[in-house]
């Protein structure tokens, strides 16, 4: 379910070239540069063809076009042509090699963003042709995991009665979790099998959610699912289920037709239209997953429910909401300064709240020297974000995919939540007048302990690192579709907005009584911890690292990080119990201190 765009290498190269340009490095002379990248790109036919130097030069040409420097773009493209001409003749003279050479020539004649994108696409296809990925080991691993998962699902289906809805849901969710963790190899090697597996799973879920449950359809789709998995494991060739070119607009129209049918009580037509949508979804899902991952997840989880219960007005409202959000996506649209601004605001606000809360607490505690540990954590978090984003780009095959970002954020988020519980407990312990006065009496003029320093550094570091690398990856993803002026304007506006939020928080915190301030900061930390815990666990569920048992009767509240799955629900209930337990223990401890002083 993850789309890998042809621009992955170009995106990373463009980000690198922009960084170099911002540091004021001078471009190399044409002839030496041509010779250098030609030497790096030229490889014997038996070795892997290295096109990375050409991709980096192509990103430089793209940056020059965005800066309206046509002469520099032509000069860089000429270097690319020289490097490409130096490639082994056998490779270069393939059909894709000839198409790449033609695309480069067209770009030299008319250096536009469109023609440079054509060069990028041609190079990407040529590289895949010359450096084919050996998926044999990955296919074996897929079979090793998916066959037992299917056998477990099928055993439950064969034993289940029409009343065993919850049992069937649980079995389906367990299988789906395994599929989510292993689907990429199928998508990368056989879109035909990928579409068949996705369609069978979606229609099976529809049958499970239908009232009364449709056992015959469940067994039919189970058999179809087995056939698709077995066919893929045997290495059969499966044609894509539609020979037509489908677009996101086509899929939206199917949803609209289905909604209209449900509203006129024609459930059969409504289900047929949504079933057709499910069958073509794998061909258009990439347009959604790269621009609105949250919507992408809702489509995959909600459409089968709507298909099963489409005559319910609530499900019709859900479908209308999905249609509206899908319609707002334009796969060919350019990003604006607002998009650039919202990425940094969305990813940076939570980190800012945590950091400002720590600084406010230290100011109130008259531990000004300890602030340097928070600042150090922020600085190292930013550096680690850049390094982490670059490492992900280099080490993972689909770095800009939602899966890698979600897994990364999930693990870091859980570690951050554990630290937030400790910081929140410390803040709460100082939220009464008596406790605050006792703290001041004990620590006046003393430095904080080394353990406290490490906690401050660690939480500020993780808060920034958790959001920072993901922010960079998002920016890398939009760079080819946004002008440099809009890109920088958006970042500037976001920084101004974040600075304003920080100023308001710091000014407000100064005016609050110290115990009251600590009480407010305590609950800010606890609420953020609740949200981050839910988001982090759900991210690991979506990437297949944790099981996912849906609780269809509960709503999803994304603003609070609440998702209707059994695992996230139990974890957040446990988190709330821990927080309440800490509060009760603190209150009891404060009462004992007050009694002792009396």
Between 486 and 158, the more confident residue is 158
Amino acid 521: pLDDT:
63
Instruction: Return the minimum-mean-pLDDT range out of 355-359, 365-369, 567-571.
Output: 365-369
> Which of the residue ranges 56-65, 157-166, 476-485 would you say has the lowest mean pLDDT?
476-485
Asked which of 130-134, 238-242, 420-424 is least confident by mean pLDDT, the reply is 238-242
Q: Is the pLDDT of residue 400 over 80?
A: no
* CA-based torsion, 215, 219, 225, 226: positive or negative: positive
- Cβ–Cβ under 8 Å, residues 285 and 1: yes
| Listed range (167-176, 315-324, 516-525) with the worst mean pLDDT | 516-525
Look at residue 157 in the predicted model and tell me its pLDDT. 93
Cβ proximity of 188 and 135 under 8 Å: yes
Closest alpha carbon to 585 in 356, 424, 472: 424
The overall average pLDDT reported for the chain is 74
Over residues 542-564, the mean pLDDT reads 72
Contact 530, 560 (CB under 8 A): yes
Give me the pLDDT at residue 443, please.
Answer: 40
The band of 485, judged by pLDDT with boundaries at 50, 70 and 90, is confident
**Residue range 303-334, pLDDT digits in tens:** 888 888 888 899 999 999 999 888 877 655 56
Hunting for tokens 């100082």 — which residue is that?
A: 430
Q: How confident is the model at residue 469 (pLDDT cuts 50, 70, 90)?
A: low
- Distance, CA of 270 to CA of 566 (rounded, Å): 30
The answer to whether 414 and 533 have CB atoms below 8 angstroms apart is yes
Q: What is the DSSP letter of 50?
A: -
Q: Which of 184-198, 246-260, 358-372, 397-411 has the lowest mean pLDDT?
A: 397-411
> What is the maximum alpha-carbon separation in the chain?
92
Nearest to 87, CA basis, from 114, 126, 120: 126
The token duo for 504 is 């308001």
Residue 499, pLDDT above cutoff 90: no
What does the pLDDT look like over 419-449, one tens digit per residue?
A: 667 666 655 555 444 554 454 444 434 444 5
Closest CA to 426 of 339, 337, 373, 362: 362
Cis before 212 (ω within 30): yes
- Confidence at residue 468, expressed as pLDDT on a 0 to 100 scale: 74
Give the residue, 342 or 80, on which the prediction is more confident: 80
Task: Tell me the C-alpha distance between 138 and 115, whole Å.
Answer: 35
pLDDT at residue 322, as a whole number: 92
> pLDDT digits over 503-520, tens only?
877 777 655 555 565 666
pLDDT of residue 201: 87
Q: What is the DSSP letter of 446?
A: P
Q: How far apart are CA 439 and CA 194, in angstroms?
A: 62
The C-alpha atoms of residue 152 and residue 145 are separated, in whole angstroms, by: 11
**How many whole angstroms from its chain centre is CA 83?**
35
- Alpha-carbon gap, residue 159 to 461, rounded angstroms: 51
Report the length, in residues, of the chain.
598
Give the span between the Cα atoms of 102 and 108, in whole angstroms. 10
CB neighbours of 442 closer than 8 A, spacing ≥ 6?
none
Q: How confident is the model at residue 9 (pLDDT cuts 50, 70, 90)?
A: very low
Confidence of residue 523 (pLDDT cuts 50, 70, 90): confident
Quick check: 543 pLDDT over 50? Answer: yes
Query: Does the CA dihedral 368-372-374-379 come out positive or negative?
Result: positive
Residue carrying structure tokens 């988001």 = 535
- Classified as helix, coil or strand, 550 is strand
Mean pLDDT of 159-185: 85
| Mean pLDDT value across residues 411-425 | 67
Return the pLDDT at 404.
52
How far apart are the C-alpha atoms of 272 and 362, rounded to whole Å?
A: 61
Q: What percent of the chain has pLDDT over 90?
A: 8
Please give the residue that has the higher pLDDT: either 396 or 117: 117
Least confident of 121-130, 349-358, 399-408: 399-408
Query: What residue spans define the domains of the chain?
Result: 8-130, 136-327, 337-597
Whole-angstrom Cα distance, residue 207 to residue 136? 34
Q: What are phi and psi of 562, to 5 degrees?
A: -105, 125
pLDDT in tens, 242-284: 445 678 888 899 999 999 999 998 887 888 888 888 877 877 7
Question: Does residue 581 or residue 522 have the better pLDDT?
Answer: 581
Q: What is the pLDDT of residue 530?
A: 87
327-356 confidence digits (pLDDT tens): 877 655 566 787 778 777 766 776 777 777
> What is the C-alpha to C-alpha distance for residues 29 and 23, in angstroms, rounded to an integer?
18
pLDDT tens, position by position, 364-382: 666 777 788 888 888 888 8
Return the top range by mean pLDDT from 58-67, 145-154, 403-412. 145-154
């Amino acid at each position: 379910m993850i789309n890998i765009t042809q621009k992955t290498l170009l995106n990373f190269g463009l980000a690198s070239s922009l960084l170099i340009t911002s540091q004021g490095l001078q471009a190399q002379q044409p002839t030496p540069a041509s010779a250098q990248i030609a030497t790096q790109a030229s490889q014997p036919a038996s070795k892997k063809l290295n096109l990375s130097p050409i991709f980096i030069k192509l990103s430089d040409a793209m940056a020059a076009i965005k800066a309206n420097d046509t002469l520099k773009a032509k000069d860089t493209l000429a270097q690319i042509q020289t490097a490409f001409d130096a490639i082994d003749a056998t490779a270069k003279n393939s059909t894709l090699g000839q198409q790449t050479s033609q695309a480069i020539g067209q770009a030299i004649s008319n250096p536009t963003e469109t023609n440079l994108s054509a060069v990028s696409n041609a190079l990407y296809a040529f590289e895949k042709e010359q450096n084919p990925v050996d998926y044999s080991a990955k296919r074996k691993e897929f079979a090793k995991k998916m066959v037992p998962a299917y056998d477990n699902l099928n055993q439950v289906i064969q034993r289940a009665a029409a009343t065993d809805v919850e049992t069937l849901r649980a079995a389906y969710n367990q299988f789906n979790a395994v599929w989510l963790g292993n689907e990429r190899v199928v998508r990368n090697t056989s879109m035909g099998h990928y579409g068949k597996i996705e369609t069978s799973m979606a229609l099976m879920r529809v049958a499970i959610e239908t009232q009364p449950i449709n056992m015959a359809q469940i067994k039919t789709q189970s058999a179809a699912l087995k056939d698709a998995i077995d066919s893929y494991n045997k290495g059969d060739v499966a044609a894509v289920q539609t020979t037509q070119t489908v677009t996101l607009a086509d899929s939206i129209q199917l949803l609209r037709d289905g909604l209209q049918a449900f509203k006129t009580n024609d459930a059969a037509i409504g289900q047929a239209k949504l079933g057709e949508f499910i069958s073509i979804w794998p061909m258009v899902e990439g347009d959604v997953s790269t621009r609105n991952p949250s919507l992408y997840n809702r489509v995959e989880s909600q459409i089968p429910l709507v298909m099963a219960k489409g005559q319910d007005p609530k499900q019709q409202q859900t479908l209308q909401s999905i249609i509206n959000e899908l319609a707002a996506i334009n796969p060919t649209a350019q990003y604006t300064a607002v998009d650039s601004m919202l990425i940094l605001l969305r990813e940076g606000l939570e980190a800012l709240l945590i950091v400002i809360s720590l600084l406010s607490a230290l100011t109130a505690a008259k531990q000004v020297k300890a602030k340097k540990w928070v600042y150090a954590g922020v600085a190292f978090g930013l550096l680690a974000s850049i390094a982490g984003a670059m490492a992900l780009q280099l080490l993972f095959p689909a770095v800009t995919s939602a899966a890698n970002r979600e897994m990364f954020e999930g693990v870091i988020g859980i570690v951050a939540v554990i630290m937030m519980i400790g910081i929140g407990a410390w803040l709460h312990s100082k939220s009464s007048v008596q406790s605050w006065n006792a703290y001041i009496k004990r620590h006046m003029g003393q430095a904080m302990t080394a353990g406290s320093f490490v906690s401050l550094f660690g939480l500020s570091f993780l808060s920034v690192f958790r959001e920072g690398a993901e922010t960079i990856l998002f920016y890398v993803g939009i760079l080819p579709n946004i002008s440099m002026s809009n890109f920088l304007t958006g970042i500037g506006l976001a920084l101004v907005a974040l600075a304003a939020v920080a100023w308001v928080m710091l000014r407000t915190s100064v005016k609050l009584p110290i115990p009251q301030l600590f009480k407010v900061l305590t609950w800010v930390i606890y609420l953020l911890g609740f949200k981050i815990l839910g988001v982090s666990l759900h991210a690991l569920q979506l990437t297949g690292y944790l099981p996912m048992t849906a609780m269809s009767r509960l709503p999803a509240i994304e603003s609070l990080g609440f998702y209707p799955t059994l695992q996230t629900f139990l974890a957040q209930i446990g988190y709330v119990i821990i927080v309440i337990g800490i509060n009760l223990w603190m209150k009891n401890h404060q009462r004992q201190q007050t009694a002792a002083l009396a």
